Structure 1
Amino acid sequence: MKSLYLTSFLVLFTLSCFADGSVRKSHHTENGFKNPNPNFETKGFWNVIVWQFQRFQLPNSLDPADYPPFPVVGNDGLQLKANTSQLSVTWIGHATTLVQIDGVNILTDPIWSERCSPISFIGPKRYTPPGIKIEDLPKIDIVILSHNHYDHTDLPTLRQLEEKFHPLVLTGLGNKKLLLGEGMKNVKEMDWWDETKTKDLTITFTPTQHFSGRGLLDRNETLWGSYFISGKKEKVYFGGDTGYYSHFREISERLGPIDVAILPVGATEPRWMMQPVHVDPKETVQAFVDLKAKYLVPMHYMTFVLSDEALDSPVPRTKEELKRSGISEGQFVPLKIGESRFF
């Protein structure tokens, strides 16, 4: 009889863990998702208001016209179209890069729009042009989206890519409905640590410390993350948007060392506002160490004014942190917008 009671208890306990046919994972909530860091503190709407008022008191202008011209390299795409085997990374601007690995062309968080905003004529404006025109891209096989913020999931750009290339679009849980409604045909949602195998690649959706939302009432209803791209011999990591936490070490421990880590270095100030969700150069370098990567390609700067640091400051600050950490500057690959690096 005791055995029967024990068996019944175990059955009921197991069933209680299955809300929708799967075990409730620690980052899932009843209404969406949460970060792995139990001490993560979100910054709410009123924090944003306070920050915007503080910006009026800044001593220096954030207008890029006050800086020397930003380096942009014209890229006609011919070399990229001819590349069918070599690992390469091209920085198109902001978090948009073209990764070529084992003959597969992958775009990260593509945005070609003039503004990253729900309204086409209001919001953060692009101050440097995309490094390559959409019509000059090689055939795009895969688009990876780290989260649904407007500067990372740009619907006008995605519609153009769908019309021209019909790519596979990978995204976090909860985003498929939006993308299908905007005309994407081949969308796959992923949870953290889910794998997608295509051709000779394995792409894993990995944790970050961030948040999601495209309005005031949908905070954290969809999942955010990063991507670990594993090819025949080489591995590439795309960090998306993230604050610093132990997830970088966990990714390396579970999936192995990385050849190229594409990591954010911008949108860092003021720290009281940005620290939970955006790594600064010091934290980027620590993440690079945690990931056990060979090369660091910086991104998420010099394109949109989203924060209070000078647009041209992230690279010099990152170089200082690399030197302080005893890391060779040869491992740092600060691409010009439009520039390609073949590894």
Structure 2
Amino acid sequence: MKSLSLYSILVLFVLSCFADASVRTSHHTPTGFKNPNPNFETKGFWNVITWQIQRFRLPHSVDPVDYPNFPVVENDGSQLKTNLSQLSVTWVGHATTLIQIDGVNILTDPIWSERCSPVSFIGPKRYTPPGIKIDDLPKIDLIILSHNHYDHTDLPTLKQLEEKFHPLVLTGLGNRKLLLDEGIRNVQEMDWWEKTTMKDLQITFTPTQHFSGRGLFDRDKTLWGSYLISGKKEKVYFGGDTGYYTHFQEVTNQLGPVDIAILPIGATEPRWLMEPVHIDPKQAVQAFGDLKAKYLVPMHYMTFVLSDEPLDSPVPRTIEELKRAGFKEGQLVSLKIGESRFF
């Protein structure tokens, strides 16, 4: 066998350097996936135990019994069933919204279950009812899932929606088998920045700063993310679950400004624990600005108790941050659970 020339050795060295660089910068890993932020770090098991002990010293209650006036409106779906063209957003609760755009009906992270848990008898309990019954929904064409946590990928709900509507389900890489095993038939996995189409829509799976896992040994083995839905004239961004990083600006740089940003503002405290994975109202407003959006629709609050902030605090705090950042209060569309807004 001929020996390698000095030139060949140099070429191989340069190529290997580029290969190593691509591995370092990619969100793919040998065992799963990682965040775009190289400094991302979540807290470990003992930090969670510390948090649970500290909760006994909170100066306020996180028991929903002490917050009796959560606004919930009845929605029989009649307007939604007759809307064939107008852009609308309906808040069902938590991260579940119904988006209607260009005649396509889309559900985000649907959960109608009483608990977000591996089992039905224990775990975070729903304290506000879903804003609309599944039987009152218009025909659902598409479901988008941001990640596989139990409050965002709820298998009992997905099976009900499959039986009634047979929608296309979009999800991050690695989640297809879980859904197929539960009888969800039309599932498409997506990688970050991958695009797919439905009728006149283009849907892009975009990065977030979060993590995945449904058990003790599957941490980050499936991909998490957000979605940019581009219609004929309007764009809707669904943020899923995320900490704050440059990915919001990257969405704008690559796909342009959006009309409606559906962003989480709950499950934020204590910040020393939640900041890597959950934006707070101030960061939600920063993300809103990064996305150059016209309207901010908040979600991920007022449904399950997952953190320590007062349950009636996210929207007032977001209003304060909007004013501080120079936005108009009218750009915040703080829907009641069950409420629809037509744009």
TM-score scaled by length of structure 2: 0.94
- Equivalent in the alignment of 1:102: 102
> Which stretch has the larger CA shift, 161-170 or 41-50?
41-50
Deviation of residue 63 (structure 1)? 1.1
Per the alignment, residue 146 of structure 2 pairs with: 146
After superposition, the C-alpha distances for 1:269-297 in whole angstroms (9 at most, x for unaligned) are 00000000000000000000000000000
| Aligned match of 2:52 | 52
List aligned pairs for 1:201-280, cutoff 5 A. 201-280=201-280
Residue 37 of structure 1 corresponds to 37
Q: Quick one: distance in 2 between partners of 1:195 and 1:83?
A: 26
Residue of structure 1 in register with 2:81 after alignment: 81
| Alignment-mate amino acid for residue 319 of structure 1 | I
- Asked whether the equivalents of residues 244 and 283 of structure 2 are also in contact (C-alpha less than 8 Å), the reply is yes
Provide the residue aligned with 1:324 in structure 2.
324
User: Deviations 1:73-127 (Å, cap 9, x if unpaired)?
Assistant: 1000010000000000000000000000000000000000000000101000000
Query: 1:133: which partner in 2?
Result: 133
Distance between the aligned counterparts of 1:112 and 1:70, measured in 2? 18
Deviation at 1:57? 2.1
1:71 corresponding residue in structure 2: 71
2-side partners of 1:258 and 1:3: how far apart?
Answer: 54
Structure 2 letter corresponding to 1:73: V
Aligned to 2:98, the other structure's residue is in SS state strand
Once residues 200 and 6 of structure 1 are traced to their aligned partners in structure 2, the CA distance between those partners, rounded to angstroms, is 50
Q: Percent identity?
A: 79
Partner of 1:282: 282
Where does structure 1 differ by over 2 angstroms across 4 or more consecutive aligned residues?
Answer: 1-14, 22-25
1:177 aligned onto 2:153:
no
For residue 313 of structure 2, what is the aligned residue in structure 1? 313
The alignment covers a number of residue pairs equal to 339
SS for the counterpart of 1:310 is coil
Asked if 1 retains the 8 angstrom alpha-carbon contact of 2:228 and 2:238, the reply is yes
What's the CA shift string for 1:14-38, capped at 9, x where partnerless? Answer: 8x959xxx99961111100000001
The AA in structure 1 aligned to 2:159 is R
Superposed displacement of residue 59, structure 1? 3.0
Distance change (3 Å), C-alpha of 1:12 and 1:166: farther
Residue identity matched to 1:316: P
Q: CA deviation at 1:11?
A: 12
SS of residue in 2 equivalent to 1:272:
helix
Q: C-alpha separation between the residues in 1 aligned to 2:45 and 2:9?
A: 49
The TM-score with structure 1 as length reference comes to 0.94
Residue in 1 that maps onto 2:337: 337
Secondary structure, aligned partner of 1:56: helix
Q: Relative to structure 2, which stretch is displaced further, 270-279 or 5-14?
A: 5-14
User: Aligned partner of 2:273: which letter?
Assistant: M
Cα offset, 1:65, TM superposition: 1.5
Q: What is the identity, as a one-letter code, of the residue corresponding to 1:51?
A: W
What corresponds to 2:192 in structure 1?
Answer: 192
Task: State the secondary structure of the residue aligned to 2:91.
Answer: strand
> Structure 2: any 5+ residue segments left out of the alignment?
none
Write the distance in 1 (CA, Å) between the matches of 2:238 and 2:182. 25
RMSD: 2.1
| Uncovered stretches (5+) of structure 1, i.e. residues with no partner | none
